[in-house]
Amino acid sequence: MKPEVIDWDEDLPPAEPEEEYRDLVRSLKRTKGFGLLFVECSPAEGERWIARVKTDIPQKKIEVLRLKESVYDFYNLIQELPNRDRINVLFVKGLEYSLYEYEQEKRARGWESKDIYSYSWRGVPPVLINLNQQRERFRDNFKICFVFLLPKFAIDYFIQRAPDFFDWRSSLFKLSMERESLQAESIIACSERGKEEDYLSLTPEERKRELVKIQTLIDEDGQTSEQKAELFYEQGLLYDFAEQYAKAIASYDKALEFKPDYHEAWYNRGYALRNLGRLEEAIASYDKALEFKPDYHEAWHNRGYALGNLGRLEEAIASCDKALKIKPDKHEAWYNRGYALDNLGRWEEAIASYDKALEIKPDYHEAWHNRGYALGNLGRLEEAIASYDKALEIKPDYHEAWHNRGYALGNLGRLEEAIASCDKALKIKPDKHEAWYNRGYALDNLGRWEEAIASYDKALEIKPDYHEAWYNRGYALDNLGRWEEAIASYDKALEIKPDYHEAWNNRGSALGNLGRLEVLNNWSSGQVNIERFKDVIASYDKALEFKPDKDKAWYNIKHLRFIISLAFMRYMVRWME
Sheet holding 89-93, edge to edge: 62-66, 89-93, 145-150, 35-40, 171-174
Lowest mean pLDDT among 53-57, 225-229, 248-252, 521-525: 521-525
| Structure confidence at residue 154 (pLDDT) | 84
CA 325 to chain centre: 31
375-411 confidence digits (pLDDT tens): 999 999 999 999 999 999 999 999 999 999 999 999 9
Q: What is the mean pLDDT of residues 520-534?
A: 53
| Structure confidence at residue 159 (pLDDT) | 78
- Pick the residue with more confidence: 559 or 277? 277
In-domain check, residue 35: yes
96-112 confidence digits (pLDDT tens): 888 776 555 444 444 34
Residue 461 has pLDDT above 50, yes or no: yes
Lowest mean pLDDT among 83-97, 114-128, 167-181, 341-355: 114-128
In-domain check, residue 468: no
Which helix (H) or strand (E) segment holds residue 230: the answer is helix 225-241
In-domain check, residue 381: no
Residue 568 has pLDDT above 60, yes or no: no
| Structure confidence at residue 532 (pLDDT) | 58
Q: Assign 4 a pLDDT band (cuts: 50, 70, 90).
A: very low
| Structure confidence at residue 7 (pLDDT) | 45
182-200 confidence digits (pLDDT tens): 788 888 888 888 888 999 9
| Structure confidence at residue 511 (pLDDT) | 82
CATH number, residue 527: 1.25.40
| Structure confidence at residue 152 (pLDDT) | 84
| Structure confidence at residue 215 (pLDDT) | 86
How many angstroms separate the CA atoms of 301 and 279, rounded? 14
| Structure confidence at residue 554 (pLDDT) | 42
The rounded percent of the chain whose pLDDT value lies above 90 is: 57
In-domain check, residue 161: yes
Q: What is the mean pLDDT of residues 1-14?
A: 45
- Spatial contact of 337 and 354, defined as CB atoms under 8 Å apart: no
Lowest mean pLDDT among 166-180, 243-257, 321-335, 380-394: 166-180
What is the rounded average pLDDT for all residues in the chain? Answer: 85
If one counts the domains in the chain, the total is 2
259-313 confidence digits (pLDDT tens): 999 999 999 999 999 999 999 999 999 999 999 999 999 999 999 999 999 999 9
Q: What is the mean pLDDT of residues 429-437?
A: 97
| Structure confidence at residue 262 (pLDDT) | 97
Domain boundary among 176, 207, 224: 176
SS3 34: coil
| Structure confidence at residue 212 (pLDDT) | 84
Domain boundary among 176, 191, 206: 176
- Spatial contact of 216 and 97, defined as CB atoms under 8 Å apart: no
In-domain check, residue 545: yes
Backbone angles phi, psi at 65, to 5 degrees: -105, 110
CATH number, residue 139: 3.40.50.300
How many angstroms separate the CA atoms of 361 and 339, rounded? 16
59-104 confidence digits (pLDDT tens): 999 999 998 888 888 899 999 998 899 999 999 998 888 877 655 5
Q: Assign 555 a pLDDT band (cuts: 50, 70, 90).
A: very low
Q: What is the mean pLDDT of residues 115-134?
A: 61
Q: Pairing mode, if any, of strands 171-174 and 89-93?
A: unpaired
pTM summary value: 0.75
In-domain check, residue 1: no
| Structure confidence at residue 248 (pLDDT) | 95
Residue 162 has pLDDT above 70, yes or no: yes
| Structure confidence at residue 103 (pLDDT) | 58
Structural domain of 99: 17-176
Q: What is the mean pLDDT of residues 21-46?
A: 89
Rg of the chain's alpha carbons, rounded to an integer? 37
The rounded percent of the chain whose pLDDT value lies above 70 is: 82
Q: How does 427-446 read in b/e, with b if 16+ C-beta sit within 10 Å?
A: eeeeebbbbbbbbbbbbbee
In-domain check, residue 338: no
| Structure confidence at residue 389 (pLDDT) | 98
Domain boundary among 130, 155, 176: 176
In-domain check, residue 331: no
**C-alpha separations of 243 from 107, 204, 237, 301, 376 in Å:** 14, 12, 10, 21, 36
